[in-house]
Amino acid sequence: MKTFKEEMKGYLKKWEASGNKVTSYVCQHCKKKIKTPQPTKKLVDSRGYWDSMKKCYECGGFNFVLIYPTGKTEVKTWGIKIKEKK
Ligand SMILES: [Zn+2]
């Protein structure tokens, strides 16, 4: 039986092998850089990004991540503002 991490690594390999890009976000729980598929412009809707709940393959924590076709990523948390820009 494969671990979740092995499964994700395998999935990312396939994603890259089919000519797609991989980007990364920083997990809010373990602070590690987590690789994730990067969408092409064709794959995103009119908002211009992907948003999804992602399970970190390092610590198992959940992050709500926005991923842009440029490779930019944003991690959202609920109810808690980590940084406030003024
Ligand atoms: Zn993590």
Per-residue pLDDT tens over the stretch 29-45: 999 999 999 999 999 99
CB 73 within 8 A of CB 66: yes
**Cα–Cα dist 12/27, whole Å:** 17
Task: Give me Rg for the CA atoms of the chain.
Answer: 14
Q: Break the chain into its structural domains and give their ranges.
A: 4-76
Ligand 1 centroid vs 8 CA: distance in angstroms? Answer: 13
Q: How far apart are CA 36 and CA 4, in angstroms?
A: 14
- What the block records as the tokens of 43 is 């794959």
pLDDT for 1: 83
Q: Does this model's pTM top 0.75?
A: yes
Answer yes or no: are the C-beta atoms of 50 and 67 closer than 8 Å. Answer: yes
Q: Does pLDDT of 82 surpass 60? A: no
Taking the centre of ligand 1 as the mean of its atom positions, its distance from the CA of residue 50, in whole angstroms, is 19
pLDDT, tens digit (0-9, with 9 covering 90-100), for 14-23: 999 999 999 9
Cα(31) to centroid of ligand 1, in Å? Answer: 6
Ligand 1 centroid, distance to 26 Cα (angstroms): 8
